[in-house]
Chains A and B, each alone.
Chain A
Amino acid sequence: MRIKTISRSVDEFTRERSQDLQRVFHNFDPSLRPMEKAVEYQRALTAAKLEKIFARPFVGAMDGHRDGISCMAKNPNYLKGIFSASMDGDIRLWDIATRRTVCQFPGHLGAVRGLTVSTDGNVLVSCGTDCNVRLWSVPRPSLEDSDLSSEKSTEPSAVYTCKNALLAVDHQFEGDLFATAGAQLDIWNHNRSQPVQSFTSGSHSVISVRFNPGEPDILATSSGDNHISIYDIRMSSAARKILMRTKTNSIAWNPMEPMNFTAANEDGNCYSFDGRKNEEAKCVHKDHVSAVMDIDFSPTGREFVTGSYDRSVRIFPYNGGHSREIYHTKRMQRVFCVKYSSDATYVISGSDDTNLRLWKAKASEQLGVILPREQKKHEYNEAVKNRYKHLPEIKRIVRHRHLPKPIYKAKAESRAMNDAKRRKDDRRKAHSAPGTVVTESHRTRRIIKEVE
């Protein structure tokens, strides 16, 4: 009997460990598997359904404040630490892992409106309606303070007083300057009791201020008179000013694209701008049905999270017109502040119901250690789903979200209104001389002008 042997090298086929997989050889001739498209479609469908099944975004709530949360700050140097401040002047440092208060910072008499941490994570700056700017030294995180009883409280390292109430504060990236917003925009140094520089802009106060993480000397502010301004703190005046129809509540710079920022507007939309061309927004992110109160970019620069007065938190892609995710719970009230965690895995929201809430940035993501095979499987599912996302069935499943009734109704209503308006515009256009009626694009509709 003659046996035809296939020659195989032993080195290639010997497993290192008994747990290792046996090598399997496939014939990848496409004619052998003629149904691959149907097979992958089915897999995509299954993946979409599984994603829905595993979507459990809410991780936990952090309870402790006695008034609505007004602002938050993440420690740029320490992943687990997050600071929050409430309307009654209470400032707390939370440990996200245990979801407990680590430290308290008492001192403010009125509502705390602004909170920020220096890039090295050592100095916490807070400001509020009591016209004070307080600087705190952040306690070093240590292993032994994990027990409940050791809730510390610290004294401020410095208190600077202003003439006016302060509405926002932000710290420069990799520097020792911070900016406060109130009646005017003040730039402070850690070590000086007077602002090193001040910018005034009109009669209205500045609502929010945010430093550019890529370009540390550039910051953006929004003011009560519907302006968005970009300043260079080395210069004496504003660089750009955009006048919009509605007020901008908050601004966030894209950490990966220093020229781009997104503004959370009172009209429920977010507007992404290129800092160099402000006459039109690069993208309008619609979905909220009420004012967007706060916005924060993911450190990857690919998406951002918004908190709205409509009691929901949404996550938008940086270049997409609609949100990819909405988070809400029955008990969550108006959301005043949101933050994306520094590793782009979690989202934290602070709302009027005195709670901080911790969410997963990807609702169905599997947390914890994932084995390589598992990881591969997840990646494949994601890729397949992404590939067939435009097919009707998969699109339907992926896009489907259960909304709270008020939001659902408000959305339906606004849709009806928009439709009616569009119909009217269309008719007007149809019945007037060509060229006389021009429909303005969404990207410029809410922008009045760029102030020269």
Chain B
Amino acid sequence: MGGLKRKSSSSAKALAKSKKKKGPHLPNSILKVIANQKRPLNSDEEDDDDVIGSDDEHGGDLYEYEEGVPEEESRKNNRYDRHDNYDYELPEDFEDENVESEDDDDGGNSDNDEAEGDDDDDDDRHTRMLQSLTGMPSAAFEGESKSKPVLFTEAYPEGEFNPTRDVLEGKNVLTEEDFLAPLEGTPGYQKTSKQIARMRKDTKHVVHAPLPKPQRERLERKAVIGLVDEEFSKWVHLVKKNREAPTVYFNQDVDLGYSTVGAIASEFQPRTEFEKKMASVLNDSEVSMEDHIKDHNHIAKMRSLLFRHEFKSKRIKKIKSKTYHRLKNKDLKNSSLGALMDPEMAKEEAMRQEAKRVEERMTLKHRNTGKWAKRMISRGLNVKYDGPKAAIAEQLQMNANLSRKMNSMRDGSSSDESDDEEEFNDGSDEDTPSRLIAKAKEKTLKALEDDEVPNAGLMSLPFMARAMKKKNEEANEEAKRALEEYEEWENSGGENSKKTVNVSGRRVFGATAKVEAPKESRKDSDNFYDDSDSDNDMAGIEDNNIEPVRDNASPARNTITEAEKFDDDVAGNPASKTTFDVAMFASGSWKKMTGSKNTESKKAPKKTRAPIPQAQDKKGPRDEESGDSESEAEQMVDGVLTSASKETFEVPSQAELINRAFAGDDVLDEFEKDKEEVLNQEVPKPEKPVLVPGWGDWTNIQKKRGISKQMVQKHEAEKKEWEQGLKTRKDARLKHVIISEKVDKKAEKLHTTTLPFPFTSKEVFEHSMRMPIGPEFNPSTIVGELNRPEVVKKTGVIIKPVKFEEVNPNDEVDDEHPRNHQKQRPKKKTSRRQGKVKSK
């Protein structure tokens, strides 16, 4: 069966065969050993064979063949037994499907015949007879030959490589002495014997019997395994890198040729005359980048201007109003507009205007300083007749127009006003109360006079008109009252008025004391918004008349000094009838103050200044009007009116406060109700079976049976289930908690019940799912990165197997790749890492 057999000659094969069947085959084994020593490469093949052989024989011992033929076989050397034996033996040779064995058998047939030719005639004849009868090859009857008495015929002559049986059994073994004996006495004998003696002592160079084959094989395999594993292990880094990469790229460096028109165009070389000419023209006319950009910008600007102009003209063209167009045309003709169009002209115009103004201011030509005007005024004609009156007014108007500042395009009244204000404010320090009051009076009168209703626009609508009328009436009332007030003050003297003038800021005047408001507040507001628009002037009075309180809400302007002054005034003048209501805006500061005052008051009880907000709140305007304020020493600190009452304020405890705050609601009860509702919704209570009249019986004659047992039972079961359901809820034992176990079916489809495979923790998984990957939700720079598939390859390009390259394990996963400049996908990375952990 061995490889050697096949390589050796046919006679050797026959020998081997016969050995296998009958006798010892030590010579063969020795041959093999020698062959092994000579050709170590081929030795393993044989080893393999022998392993298989030995596996079959369960020994692997080389000397096993010495054991004789089984007794029973040798004894049963007759016809019938032979048949039995034949039946038994047949499969041993024929069952082997192996192609190899067939091969051997082909040679074996003839060999056997030859080998057995020397056997006794009986047997030979018998075999031949069997062969002729059955038509089977003689090899089939080999089994019989085993049982024969053994006669050894050796193919080789007896020698050192083919020893006799005796030698093998250990009888008559030749020793060195046997060989040396005849040499005794010859010249080199001593030397030889010494050498032999030395050789015997030397245990190092003794060749031991080879190990049993399975063992030897195992050792060899172990050595090879080590080498192969080493080979494989050098790939680990590369494989790891490949596996951990979020994307593997194949054939990115393969050039597939041009893919765009631009790429082709960039490679274009002019060849023909025409092309060359074109190219030269194109190259010559090249402009610098800056110029190009400049040009470009200029064009863009012009374009945008043009566009805007077009847009505007379109819009204007759309206006259908004839009046508008007429006016517009007129305007166009007007030089002023033309002046506006031309900066030079505009400048000139401005100069002219300025000159006029200067002249006007110097000459005061139109301020009724003329002879005629003086005469008219001195004689009072301007009051008596309408004509002069109008003329004088016109003159004044002209003056105003001329002397106003050129740039302010508003009506003259505004600047007049501001001038007036300035004057007034300047004067306010030195104070001319009588004049002030007079002015206020005048204004009020004026307001009273011109309350005409506009007859066009929104205000002309009936309901608006009505409202206006009402408001006007109110305003008139107010104004009348104010007038009365003014007269009174004029009579009473300057002391009072001075005080009222100075007081400003966070005060809301009571109903009786509202008189001051319009005038004062308007002034203030105008002062505050310095040069506010002129409309304010026209509407100002009206507005103030309507809601005199409004402007008082403007940020506090009065200083402490002022307040203190006022304080002193009030304290010092208890006889004054004016009462004040403290406006409680800026609640934050108010509260803060209260707090601080409280502590202060506790610390220093002698200075009882603790505010009583509630008391003051409740008091209302009537109380104040009644003049309690006179008795109680009213004090104003930083705009806060405080009254030093006798009673001290007790601070309620926190719990009390809370109780008071939530006095109305029963929270616990409500919560319980809520919980019950939720429970009912999520675990609905089973309905009690009810007896529906007419159901379940035929007539009313029949005896009523009540609710059927079945229904009751069903109800019981349902009830039990319900109770169970309630018990198993998470919030069953938590009295103050509702844990909803409602499932949102629509959201359900977006959730998984189990953690998907590569993930090991819920958090990581959720994190990976949190960020959307679509182009709507991400900038285009990272969309490609987020959506990149795991394998990027080019269709139609052969992918070569991996090539070994040294990998630095400290390197980043795909550092050297062309497309790696972008960040890695975080999600993929984590999932992969986890997957890897799992696989390990």
What residues make up the interface of A, taking CB atoms closer than 8 Å to B?
3, 10, 26, 28, 30, 33, 36-41, 43, 76-77, 79, 163-165, 173, 182-184, 197-205, 213-215, 218, 230, 232, 235-241, 255-260, 275-276, 282, 299-302, 319, 342-345, 367, 376, 379-380, 382-384, 387, 389-393, 452
Across the interface, name the chain A residue whose C-beta is closest to B296: A10
Interface residue ranges of B772-801 to A (CB < 8 Å): 772-779, 783-784, 786-791, 793-801
Q: A28-B777, A345-B795 known; A376 and B787 CB under 8 Å?
A: yes
Check: B585 CB closer than 8 A to any chain A CB. no
User: Beyond A215-B231, A232-B228, A259-B232, is A43–B774 a contact (Cβ under 8 Å)?
Assistant: yes
Q: Known contacts being A164-B100, A200-B49, is A235 close to B224, with CB within 8 Å?
A: yes
**Contact residues in B for A77 (Cβ distance below 8 Å):** 798
- Interface pair B45/A200, CB less than 8 Å apart: yes
Q: Quick one: given A43-B774, A237-B217, are A383 and B52 in contact (CB under 8 Å)? A: no
Chain A proximity of B329: nearest CB distance (Å): 21
| Contact status A164-B773, CB under 8 Å | no
Is A257's CB under 8 angstroms from B798's CB?
A: no
Give A380's nearest chain B residue, CB to CB: B787
5 A-B pairs with C-beta separation under 8 A: A28-B778, A182-B99, A197-B41, A259-B239, A393-B749
A-B pairs with beta carbons under 8 A, tally: 211
Cα(A379)–Cα(B784), bound, Å:
8
B156 on the A face (CB < 8 A): no
- Cβ–Cβ < 8 Å partners of A36 in chain B: 772, 774, 776-777
Q: Which chain A residues border B777 with CB–CB below 8 Å?
A: 28, 30, 33, 36
Contacts A236-B220, A237-B217, A452-B218 known; A199 to B48 CB distance under 8 Å? Answer: yes
Whether A384 and B218, one on each chain, are in contact in the complex, defined by CB atoms closer than 8 angstroms, is no
CB pair B248–A300 under 8 Å, yes or no, is yes
Closest 4 pairs between A and B when the two form their complex, measured CB to CB? A299-B799, A213-B801, A259-B232, A255-B801
Q: Is the CB of B774 within 8 A of A380?
A: yes
What 0/1 readout, one digit per residue, does chain B (373-384) give for beta carbons within 8 Å of chain A? 000000000000
Complex alpha-carbon distance, A171 and B217, angstroms: 27
Whether B802 and A301, one on each chain, are in contact in the complex, defined by CB atoms closer than 8 angstroms, is yes
User: Which of B250, B773, B799, B839 is the most central at the interface, judged by chain A CB atoms within 10 Å of its CB?
Assistant: B799
CB distance from A369 to the nearest CB of B (A): 9
User: Which residues of chain A are near B793, meaning CB under 8 Å?
Assistant: 300, 343-344
Is the Cβ of B839 less than 8 Å from the Cβ of A319? Answer: yes
Known contacts A239-B228, A379-B789, A214 near B235 by CB under 8 Å: yes
B702 interface residue, CB < 8 Å from A?
no
Asked if A300 and B799 sit within 8 Å, CB to CB, the answer is yes
| Cβ B100 vs Cβ A257 within 8 A | no
Give every chain B residue within 8 A of A184 (Cβ-Cβ).
100
Contact between chains at B225 and A299 (CB < 8 Å):
no
Given contacts A173-B801, A202-B48, A257-B239, contact A40 B228 (CB under 8 A): no
Selected contact of B787 from candidates A241, A256, A379, CB within 8 Å: A379
**Does residue B613 face the partner (Cβ distance < 8 Å to A)?**
no
- A230-B228, A275-B232 are contacts. A237–B44 as well, Cβ < 8 Å? yes
A384-B48 in contact given A76-B798, A390-B756, A391-B749 (Cβ < 8 Å): no
Chain B interface residues toward A at CB < 8 A: 3, 6, 40-41, 43-45, 47-49, 51-52, 96, 98-101, 103, 217-218, 220-222, 224-225, 227-229, 231-233, 235-236, 239, 242, 248, 250, 296-297, 300, 308, 749-752, 756-757, 769, 772-779, 783-784, 786-791, 793-804, 839
**Cβ of A205: which chain B residues have Cβ within 8 Å of it?**
98-99
Distance, CA A299 to CA B784, complexed state (A): 25
Whose C-beta in chain A lies nearest to the C-beta of B48? Answer: A200
With a cutoff of 8 Å between Cβ atoms, the chain B residues found around residue A256 in the complex are 239, 242, 248, 801-802
Q: How far does the Cβ of A164 sit from chain B's closest Cβ, in whole Å? A: 5
**A337→B507 CA distance, assembly (Å):** 102
Q: Out of A163, A202, A235, A452, name the residue touching B52 (CB < 8 Å).
A: A202
Residue ID in chain B nearest A365 by CB atoms = B795
B750 touches A37 (CB 8 A): yes
Residues of A within 8 A of B802 (CB): 213-214, 255-258, 301
Residues of B within 8 A of A380 (CB): 773-775, 783, 787
Q: How far is the CB of B572 from chain A (nearest CB, A)?
A: 57
Q: Nearest-CB distance from B228 to chain A (Å)? A: 4
The chain A residue with its CB closest to the CB of B229 is A276
CB contacts (< 8 Å) of B788 on chain A: these are 379, 383
Q: Which of B3, B48, B796, B801 contacts A345 (CB 8 A)?
A: B796
In the complex, given contacts A200-B3, A202-B48, A392-B749, what are 14 additional A-B residue pairs having Cβ atoms less than 8 angstroms apart?
A37-B769, A39-B776, A40-B773, A203-B98, A203-B100, A205-B99, A213-B801, A215-B235, A236-B220, A237-B44, A241-B221, A256-B801, A376-B787, A382-B787
By beta carbon, the residue of chain B nearest A235 is B224
The answer for the CA separation of A394 and B801 in the assembled complex, in Å, is 35
Most chain A beta-carbon neighbours within 10 Å: one of B222, B795, B797:
B795
Q: Give the residues in chain B near A30, CB-CB below 8 Å.
A: 777
Q: How many angstroms from the CA of A238 to the CA of B222 in the assembled complex?
A: 10
* Complex contact A238–B224 (CB within 8 A): yes
Cα distance A30–B772 when bound, in Å? Answer: 9
Q: Give every chain B residue within 8 A of A204 (Cβ-Cβ).
A: 98
The docked-state distance in angstroms from the alpha carbon of A257 to that of B235 is 7
Q: Is the CB of B801 within 8 A of A183?
A: no
How far, in angstroms, from A252 to B335 measured CA to CA in the complex? 97
Decide: B798 and A26 in contact? CB cutoff 8 A: no
Q: How far is the CA of A99 from the CA of B224 in the complex (A)?
A: 45
Q: Nearest B residue to A382 by beta-carbon distance?
A: B789
With both chains docked as a complex, state the minimum distance between the C-beta of B560 and any C-beta of chain A, in angstroms: 43
B45 contacts across to A, CB distance below 8 A: 198-200
Distance A33 CA – B773 CA, assembled complex (angstroms): 13
Write out the residue numbers on chain A whose beta carbons fall within 8 Å of the beta carbon of B796. Answer: 79, 343, 345
Pairwise interchain contact B798-A299, C-beta atoms closer than 8 A: yes
Q: A30-B777, A79-B796, A202-B52 are in contact. Are A240 and B228 (CB under 8 A)?
A: yes
Contact of A257 with B756 in the complex, beta carbons under 8 Å: no
Name the contact of B224 in the complex, choosing from A203, A237, A389 (C-beta under 8 A): A237
**Residues of A with C-beta under 8 A to B239:** 256-260
Provide the residues of chain B in CB contact with A10, threshold 8 Å. Answer: 296-297, 300
In the bound complex, residues from chain A placing their C-beta under 8 Å from that of B778 are 28
Given A276-B229, A300-B799, residue A391 in contact with residue B98 (CB < 8 A): no
Q: Do B227 and A391 touch (CB < 8 A)? A: no
B103, A163: Cβ atoms under 8 Å?
A: yes
Q: How far is the CA of A367 from the CA of B795 in the complex (A)?
A: 9
Instruction: State in angstroms the CA–CA spacing of A235 and B227 once bound together.
Output: 9
**Distance in Å from the Cβ of B793 to the closest Cβ of chain A?**
6
Determine the chain A residues whose CB is within 8 A of the CB of B772 once the complex forms: 36-37, 39-40
CA distance A275 to B99 in the complex (A): 30
* Neighbouring A residues of B757 by C-beta, 8 Å: 390
Known: A343-B794, A392-B749. A215 touches B98 (CB 8 A): no
Say whether, besides A40-B773, A236-B40, A343 and B227 are in contact (CB < 8 Å). no
Name the distance in Å between A39's Cβ and chain B's nearest Cβ. 7
CA distance A319 to B239 in the complex (A): 14
**Chain B hits for A197, CB < 8 A:** 41
Residues A28 and B779 in contact, CB atoms below 8 Å apart: yes
Q: How far is the CA of A382 from the CA of B242 in the complex (A)?
A: 21
* Complex Cα spacing A351 to B3, Å: 37
Complex alpha-carbon distance, A204 and B49, angstroms: 11
Given A33-B776, A237-B224, A276-B233; A383-B787 close (CB under 8 Å): yes
> Are B99 and A238 touching (Cβ within 8 A)?
no
A3 to B307 Cα, complex, angstroms: 13
Let me know if A376 and B784 touch, CB within 8 A. yes
Closest to A319 in B: B839
B-side contacts of A40, CB under 8 Å: 772-774
Residues of B within 8 A of A3 (CB): 308
The answer to whether B774 and A39 touch across the interface, beta carbons within 8 angstroms, is yes
Of all chain B residues, the one with the shortest Cβ separation from A1 is: B312
B658 CB to nearest A CB, Å: 36
User: Nearest-CB distance from A224 to chain B (Å)?
Assistant: 9
Do A343 and B798 touch (CB < 8 A)?
A: yes
Cα A43 to Cα B774 in complex, Å, equals 10
